[in-house]
Amino acid sequence: MRASSLWTNNKKPTISFEFFPPRSEKAAVRFEQVIDDLASLEPSFVSVTFQAGGSAREGSYQLVDKLKNKKGLNAVAYFAGYGLGPDDITSVLDNYKKLDVETIFVVRGDEPHNVDDFKAHPESFAHASDLLSFIGGRYDFCMGAAGYPEGHIEAESLEKDLEYLKLKVDNGAEYIISQYFYDNQYFYDFVDRCRVIGINVPIVAGVMPIYSVKMMNILANLCGATITDAVHQGLAAIDPDDKEAVSNFGVELAVQQCRALIKDGVQGLHFYTMDRSKETVAIVSKLKSEGLL
């Protein structure tokens, strides 16, 4: 599957789910049910995250193989090239070709955690745009890139961040998946700014359900997503230790966001599942019952 074909004359937005390789045997057992639960929603594709170092890399290959060749799902493989030299990059991509992967999602990534012997290669690439150029000159993958409605946390400015995104598209990115946001206006403004400067590829909205207050705060701090006043106020009325109430609040918030995004013509919804299924199943099932997906 070449992901770029998904948005050709599509009448409804695509839905897709992000997974990461389980980090323990216990998590792997639970994850089997998560895959089956989310596969039942018939996603347009699923994506698998990737880290450059050690066993995490092997876990990514194995999960892509499972989802694509054993579960029959359209699988998009992340490629995070942080610190990798040219030979290592081609080795990773050759392995994806062996799995018959046609679409990849290219990000710079971050330094691998818990990899004591990891050292960045002196010929590694500093930016995702450089990786896209390198890969595009050697392979025929359909390539995607990440976009940041509120700007990348390391960006000098929104304008500069958008310049880098334009360069990613110029260097071969055929679709964009956005970072998540809790106020749709951030996404609408982002798409408008993209179109003004000539970024015309499909832009998919990232959706992050609120799984817990603690996780929400940690992730928002890591990626720079604004926790809006509406979210703060809604959660203030809930006991943060009441997991069910927090989850229900998050589901309803995401349903409201997705309804509005679909009404306003979003091309796709990409759910950051955190390898969980309950919340995403509830959100997507509700939208499907309303005929929106």
86-98 helix and 128-136 helix, angle to the nearest 10 degrees: 60
- What letter would DSSP give residue 245? H
List active site positions: 18
pLDDT digits (tens, 9 = 90+) for 252-271: 999 999 999 999 999 999 99
Residue 243 has pLDDT above 80, yes or no: yes
Could you please report the per-residue DSSP string of 139-197? ---EEEEEE-TT--TT-S-HHHHHHHHHHHHHTTEEEEEEEE-SSHHHHHHHHHHHHHT
pLDDT digits (tens, 9 = 90+) for 83-140: 888 998 999 999 999 999 999 999 988 766 666 666 777 877 888 999 999 999 999 9
Report how far residue 268's alpha carbon sits from residue 248's, in angstroms, rounded to the nearest whole number.
Answer: 23
Instruction: Tell me the mean pLDDT in the region 164-179.
Output: 98
**Other CB atoms within 10 A of residue 11 CB:** 4
Per-residue model confidence (pLDDT) at position 174: 98
pLDDT digits (tens, 9 = 90+) for 186-202: 999 999 999 999 999 99
**pTM for the full predicted model:** 0.94
Residue 55 has pLDDT above 60, yes or no: no
For 53-59, which contacts have Cβ atoms below 8 Å and span 24 or more sequence positions? 53/112, 53/115, 53/118, 54/112, 54/115, 54/118, 56/21, 56/112, 56/115, 57/92, 59/21, 59/22
CB 42 within 8 A of CB 71: no
Per-residue model confidence (pLDDT) at position 53: 56
Domains for the chain: give ranges and CATH numbers: 3-289 (3.20.20.220)
Nearest CA-CA partner of 38 in 247, 259, 244, 274: 274
Give the H or E element holding residue 289.
helix 278-289
Strands of the chain, DSSP E = 14-19, 45-48, 75-80, 103-107, 142-147, 173-180, 203-207, 268-272
Nearest CA-CA partner of 88 in 141, 125, 63: 125
Instruction: Tell me the mean pLDDT in the region 33-41.
Output: 97
List, in order, residues 6 or more apart from 79 with CB less than 8 Å away: 50, 89, 92, 93, 96, 104, 105, 106, 107, 131, 135
CB 202 within 8 A of CB 173: no
Per-residue model confidence (pLDDT) at position 128: 94
Q: What is the pLDDT of the chain when averaged over all its residues?
A: 93
Residue 56 has pLDDT above 80, yes or no: no
Instruction: Tell me the mean pLDDT in the region 210-236.
Output: 96
